Amino acid sequence: MSTNAGALIRHFPYMVKVGAATLSDAFTRLYRRAYWRKRGVHVEPTARILYASPDHMDLGHGTHIGLFTVVVALATPICTEVPLLKVGERTWIGDHGNIRASGGLITIGKACLLANGVTIISCTHDLKPDVYVRDQPWIRGDVDIGDDVWIGAGAMIFPGSKIGKGAVIGAGAVVRGTVEPYDIVVGIPAKSIGSRKDRA
């Protein structure tokens, strides 16, 4: 028996396991896309929607979830509410996004625009110096985003943030805290540079 054949035989159980997992993941994605399509939600084929129960997620009619975007709504001991993620009608979530309602709630209003690469997280780790960061407890910080909010490409919305109706978050901005309604904010950390009301 050749070395290559022997290696193939040794790795066969692993290959079967990986193949089965890949097939199972593909069927799960198809099922979830069909489930949400019936509710008027468009999920791109390469997007990943992760939850233990569809009750954990409330996606409004006309919501779009872009290519390679990951949307997570998983209950934890510090956050067991339902739904964990709520998205209003006609909200567009672009490609390569990262929205994780684990350890806290995320609410996104209706008719919002989230550009490519937006990250929104609802919990973080503590930073005590005598414990590895990965071993530190989660700190909950619910995120509330109002209606008609535009979040630019690559922006990050940190736990505990509250973004008022009609606000604009500039590309690459980092939001931690409160953004007033109709404010336009940019930078790290995000700071106001004006208001949409001034453009009336």
Residue 2's SS3 state is coil
Instruction: Tokens for 175, please give them.
Output: 């939001």
Per-domain residue ranges of the chain: 1-38, 43-199
Q: To which CATH superfamily is domain 43-199 assigned? A: Hexapeptide repeat proteins (2.160.10.10)
Per-residue pLDDT for 137 more than 60? Answer: yes
Please report which confidence band the pLDDT of residue 127 belongs to, taking 50, 70 and 90 as the band edges: confident
Choice between 25 and 157, residue whose per-residue pLDDT is larger: 157
Q: Quick: pLDDT tens for 49-76.
A: 998 888 899 999 999 999 999 999 998 8
- Which residue from 171, 168, 158 is spatially nearest to 194, judged by alpha carbons? 168
Give the number of other Cβ atoms within 10 Å of residue 94's Cβ: 19
Torsion of CA 65, 70, 75, 76, to 10 degrees: -150
**Does the pLDDT of residue 1 top 50, yes or no?**
no
The model's pTM? 0.84
In order of 10, 58, 152, the CA distances from 71 in angstroms are 37, 12, 18
Greater model confidence, 153 or 102: 153
- State the catalytic residues: 125
**43 contacts: CB under 8 Å, gap ≥ 6:** 32, 33, 36, 37, 49, 65
Question: pLDDT band for position 136 (50/70/90)?
Answer: confident
Quote the Cα angle for 163-59-102, to 5°.
65
* Per-residue pLDDT, 169: 98
199's tokens: 């453009």
What average pLDDT score do residues 80-98 get? 95
165 pLDDT band, cuts 50/70/90, is very high
Work out the pLDDT band at 24, boundaries 50, 70, 90.
Answer: low
